Structures are given as C-alpha cells and as structure tokens.
Structure 1
Amino acid sequence: MKQNYNLLLADDDEDDCAFFKEALEELLLPVSLVTVNDGVQLMDFLADKSAENLPDLLFLDLNMPRKNGFECLTEIKKIERLQNLAVIIFSTSLDMNIVDNVYEKGALYYIRKPGDFSKLKKVIGNALAITAESNFKQPVKEHFILQP
C-alpha cells in the first residue's frame, strides 16, 4: 500500500458520509477523505483537478440528486484524463442489472452499503486492500461485488 491514499466519496446521504468517515478513522489507514454531496459537485470537483491531483479512489453512490452515479460514471469514463480513475460503486441497491451495467461501464468494484457499522468498516478495509493488491484493475465479473 502506498503512503497515503486520497479518497473521494460522492454520496448525498449525510449519515452515510459520517459513518464512512468514522469507519475510515477506526481503521487507522493512511488515507485522506473528501466528500461531495451530488453528481454535479462531483464532476465540478474532478474538473478542477489536474491529472496528478485526482483522487486515488472514488466511492460513488448511484442514487444522488441533480446527477446520479450512472451519469457520473459514464462521463468519467468518456473524459480521457479521468478514464483511469478507480471507481467503486457504493450503493444501497443490489439489483443485478445495475451491477452488470456499472461493470460494463468500467467500475472497479461494487459494494452494497451495509446497515451495520462493523460490516461497513470491514468492507471499506477490504476494498482498500484488494484495490491496492489488484493494482487498481477491474477483476473478473465473479469478484466484482465486495461483501463485508
């Protein structure tokens, strides 16, 4: 694992953002976290960054106001300097059509938001470890969904 990962969380749910931040703090991992609250904010944030200053990993909620996670993922993969941005879908839904869709669009992993804090902590820790191990490459489809 490199020195410090810059994480970006795009999620409109304040409680989910707070739990995510708390889970990261308890994991004691070398990461910094920035949060944005909808897809428009996300794309504005990414537009302001040079290729070297992009986050290492984006946790992307699908159901957000103004611009949803699907639209953001599609846009990210069309913009050349963002194409290699590692995107982990972080959603409450686990609809297999949606999972297949975001896999095809190039998301790195899919996490269904656990309701339980200890599971959230575990799945975030796993996501960071496995992403680093795989060198930010998309896995085969069978390993796309990360479970706590």
Structure 2
Amino acid sequence: MKQQYNLLLADDDEDDCDFFKEALDELLLPTSLVTVNDGVQLMDFLSESGAENLPDILFLDLNMPRKNGLECLTEIKQQEEYRNLPVIIFSTSLDRDIVDLVYGKGAVYYIQKPGEFSKLKKVIGSALSIASESNFKQPARENFILQP
C-alpha cells in the first residue's frame, strides 16, 4: 500500500461526509480527505489541483445539486488530464441501470452507502485495499459492486 492516500469525497449530504470522515479516522489508514459538496465544486477543485495534484481516489455521490455525479463522471473521463483518476461511486441508490451506466463510463467500483457505521467502515477499508491491490483498474462487471 502507498504511504498516504489523498481522497476526495464529493457528496452534498453533510452527515454522510461526517460519517465517511469518522470511518476513515477509525480505520487508522494513512489518508487525507478533502470534501466538496456538489459537482460544480468538484470540477473546480480538480481544475485548480492540476493534473499532477489529483487525488488518489474520488468517492463520488450520484445525487448532488448543480451538477450530478453522472455528469461529473462523464466529464472526468472525457478529459485527458483526469481520465486516469480512479472514481468510486458512493450512492444511496442501487439501480441496476445506473450501475451498468457508470460501469460503462469507467467508474472503478460502486458502493451503496450502508446505513450502519460499522458496515461503512468495512466497505471503505475494502475499497481502499482492493483498489490499491488492483492498481485502480476496473474489475469485471460482476465484481464492480462492493458489499460491506
């Protein structure tokens, strides 16, 4: 595993962001977390970071104001400087059509937000370890959804 993971969480739900941060803290993994609250902020953050300072992983919520996660994913994968940014979809819903769509657009994994803190911790830990082991390459479709 890498020395430290720089994570970016794009989610408009403040409670979800807090839970995510707490779960990371309890995992005791060497990470730093930046959060943005909508898709416009996300794209601004990426363009201000520049290609050499991109986060190691982007956790992306689908339902956000101003620009949703699907629009952001599409935009990220169309731009040369962001194309290799690993995106893990982090959403409340688990709609098969949407899952297929984001898989086709190049997301690395899909996590349905668990309601329980212990499961959230487990699935974030799994995501970081699996993603780093596979060198952030997209898995086969049947392994795309990460379960806690």
Q: Under a length normalisation based on structure 2, what TM-score does the superposition of the two structures give? A: 0.99
1:48 aligned partner, one-letter code: E
- Residue 140 in structure 1 maps to residue 145 in structure 2: no
1:51 Cα deviation from its structure 2 partner: 1.4
Separation in 1 of the partners of 2:50 and 2:96?
Answer: 34
Alignment partner, residue 131 of structure 2: 131
Q: Identity over aligned residues, as a percent?
A: 80
Which residue in the other structure is 1:67 paired with? 67
Partner amino acid, structure 2, of 1:87: V
- Tell me which amino acid in the other structure corresponds to 1:96: R
Counterpart check, 1:31 vs 2:70: no
Aligned pairs for 1:1-148 within 5 A: 1-148=1-148
Give the TM-score taking structure 1 as reference length. Answer: 0.99
Q: Deviations over 1:47-81 (max 9, x none)?
A: 11121100000000000000000000000001100
Q: CA deviation at 1:13?
A: 0.1
Q: Which stretches of structure 1, 4 residues or longer, exceed 4 Å deviation after superposition? A: none
1:134 CA displacement = 0.3
Q: Distance in 1 between matches of 2:115 and 2:2?
A: 29
- 2:136 & 2:26 partners in 1: Cα distance? 24
Query: What stretches of structure 1 of length at least 5 have no aligned partner?
Result: none
Work out the CA distance in 2 between the residues paired with 1:50 and 1:17: 24
How many residue pairs match? The answer is 148
In structure 2, stretches of 5+ residues that fail to align are none
Q: Distance in 1 between matches of 2:50 and 2:13?
A: 27
The CA RMSD measured in Å over matched residues stands at: 0.3
